[in-house]
Amino acid sequence: QVQLVESGGGLVHPGGSLRLSCATSGTVSSFNAIRWYRQAPGKERELVASMPRGGNTYYADSVKGRFTISRDNAKNTVYLQMNSLRPEDTAVYYCSVVAGWSQYWGQGTQVTVSS
């Protein structure tokens, strides 16, 4: 069982930046993949960014060039740096990891982009 705790969400103006953090109870470097999803009101949950172990990092077209997924192995923490935020980025953001055959989820953190 892996516990994930997100933080860093909040209210930001359009064009601003936020960095989301996801503290994990496991060893980040051992996970098969680390991912960030988001879910806006009335919409399905969508994959925003994914960093598979040994594979290429993926970004949704809507965030490419603005968001960056990263990890700190020493801190067992995963990050999502979000720049040039837009109102359409407003959503609950979820951290997720794949460990073995299981996928684990955090509780989510709200990001609101509004003037």
For strand 109-113 and strand 10-12, is the pairing parallel, antiparallel, or unpaired? Answer: parallel
- Which tens digits make up the pLDDT trace of 35-58? 999 999 999 999 999 999 887 999
Would you state the structure tokens that stand for residue 47, as one six-digit string? 């994959």
Per-residue pLDDT band at 106 (split at 50, 70, 90): very high
- Residue 56: partners with Cβ closer than 8 Å, 6 or more residues away: none
pLDDT for 79 beyond 90: yes
Average pLDDT, the chain: 95
